[in-house]
Chain A
Amino acid sequence: MNRLETIFILCAAWLAVAFEISFPGFRQLLGFQISLLPPLMVYVALSNSLPGIVLLSLIGGVASDAFSANPIGISTLALAGTGMLLHHNRDLVLRDQAYAQVAMGLLATALTPALVVLALMNTQHPVLLTWRLFGQWLGTALIGGICTPFIFRFFALLNRWFSYQALPESHFRDTRQIKRTRI
């Protein structure tokens, strides 16, 4: 795993949580907050290695739960489950295609909160399942799906800027050189 990319992923997780806790725009406009960690997990699961998934689910999940009334660690498990599922099937996904990215983003953003709610149903404070929550879940999944290709584009841009780019090979070869000699 590229060390620089790991740092970028952790920074992106920090920014995603910071956005969720401090930006009230979506909450005031739509009545719910969108989640950017699952789309980020899609990128990591499809383009990165297992340590990336582990790091993102640990750091992102714990940071998200720290600001929530969720028991700490519950989002970690949900994010890791989603990431593992995508990573395990990544050979079957055309990850460079935008529609595949949207579909995977939709799946991850729907699956992660569903897993958290499912786990919370077995705790002391189960979540009240209402049509409103169902609508919010659908809305979050939809927006998560739309955000996913942008995250792929963003990381592609970062990689282009900061990663080592292999120089294109020259067509010149020593073996094919015509040596000029005196006749």
Chain B
Amino acid sequence: MLRKPQYIALLIVALAGLILLSLPEAAASRVKLAVTTLFLPLFGATETTQAAARRAGNTIVPRSDLIRELEQLRAEKQKLEFNLAQAQEAARENDRLRRLAGLPSRPGWKLKPARVIARDPANWWRTVFIDLGSKDGVRVDLPVVTPEGLAGRVSAVGTTRSQVVLLGDQTCRVAGMVRETAENGIVIPYAPDPSIVTLTYLSRGSAVKPGQTITTSGLELKPGNHVLTSGLGGVFPAGIRIGEIVDVRSDGFGLYQSARVRLAVNLNALDHVWVVAQ
């Protein structure tokens, strides 16, 4: 049997826990972001340590390596300048044609660099915290990307920090599209492997048996096909890379198909990300 002080302690904790659990979602989110303020010294210390490590690393790199890297970067810069000129010309042409066709011009992306400052301690969720908040213009549902592809979306915003829910989490569903076949589906988590997601609700092809090729809309979905965001749903802009198809299977008693997609971004090694402010 529990003794009286134990009952009192249990009551205090249970009461505090229940009060916190019964908070409205907005209030709970505010409390969470307020509690993270306690860890500001940690974020500052991490940044300082990383900067110091970078500075220390810079002092020991041999000059010959730096010169070689500089030459490589110069060559790459020239190549990218050509590509940029081509892309700018294509964009101008696209704008001109859109105007002629009476279509509204496509807004460009404004990218804001952010640093990942904390990760979800629970193994069953996939969220991170970044060092941008409402004072930097970040809003809920803004997409978060890396140069490799889509990472997730902003789920909660504080003044100087935001929570990002990553691809593969149950609360992050994305409208996806197979680039080669223009087939639309929804990206949902694939529980057994965090580096893979499922692109599901793809339109049904011909009857499928093991070993047969699956066809959809007259085009084959193959391993290696690229999956991008489709822009449907209004949260993620179209054309952001999600990953590559690993395999395709019939699902829902043959009503639709699902494809396993290996993510382009290594979410376990996220360090710097970009918030897409449209």
A residues engaging B (CB < 8 A)? 14, 17-18, 20-22, 24, 27-28, 31-33, 35, 50-51, 53-54, 57-58, 61-74, 76-77, 80, 84, 87-88, 113, 116-117, 120, 125, 127-128, 130-133, 136-137, 140
**Complex contact B13–A76 (CB within 8 A):** yes
**Complex contact A80–B14 (CB within 8 A):** yes
Contact of A65 among B5, B18, B32 (CB under 8 A): B32
**Complex contact A125–B171 (CB within 8 A):** yes
CA gap between A50 and B9 in the complex, in Å: 7
**Complex contact B17–A77 (CB within 8 A):** yes
**Complex contact B194–A72 (CB within 8 A):** no
**Complex contact A136–B9 (CB within 8 A):** no
Identify which of residues 177-192 in chain B touch chain A, using a CB-to-CB cut-off of 8 Å.
189, 191-192
**Complex contact B124–A117 (CB within 8 A):** yes
Label chain A's interface by main secondary structure: helix
**Complex contact A128–B121 (CB within 8 A):** no
A-B interface pairs (CB < 8 A), number: 145
**Complex contact A72–B268 (CB within 8 A):** no
User: A181 → chain B, closest Cβ, in Å?
Assistant: 58
Contact of A66 among B19, B36, B42 (CB under 8 A): B36
Taking CB as reference atom, which chain A residue is nearest B25?
A71
Complex contacts, A24 vs chain B, CB 8 Å: 119, 268-269
**Complex contact B17–A17 (CB within 8 A):** no
B65 contacts the other chain (Cβ, under 8 Å)?
no
B10 contacts the other chain (Cβ, under 8 Å)?
yes
**Complex contact A73–B20 (CB within 8 A):** yes
Complex contacts, B16 vs chain A, CB 8 Å: 58, 73, 76
CA gap between A67 and B43 in the complex, in Å: 13
**Complex contact B32–A72 (CB within 8 A):** yes
Complex contacts, A120 vs chain B, CB 8 Å: 124
**Complex contact A20–B19 (CB within 8 A):** no
Complex contacts, B48 vs chain A, CB 8 Å: none
Contact of B192 among A18, A68, A87, A130 (CB under 8 A): A130
**Complex contact A68–B9 (CB within 8 A):** no
Q: Which of B9, B46, B155, B189 has the most A CB atoms < 10 Å from its CB?
A: B9
B165 contacts the other chain (Cβ, under 8 Å)?
yes
**Complex contact B268–A28 (CB within 8 A):** yes
Contact of A63 with B191 at beta-carbon distance under 8 Å, contacts A69-B120, A76-B16, A133-B124 already known:
no
Complex contacts, A53 vs chain B, CB 8 Å: 9
CA gap between A74 and B28 in the complex, in Å: 12
CA gap between A74 and B13 in the complex, in Å: 11
**Complex contact A76–B35 (CB within 8 A):** no
Contact of A50 with B6 at beta-carbon distance under 8 Å, contacts A76-B16, A131-B192 already known:
yes
Complex contacts, B269 vs chain A, CB 8 Å: 24, 28
CA gap between A74 and B124 in the complex, in Å: 14
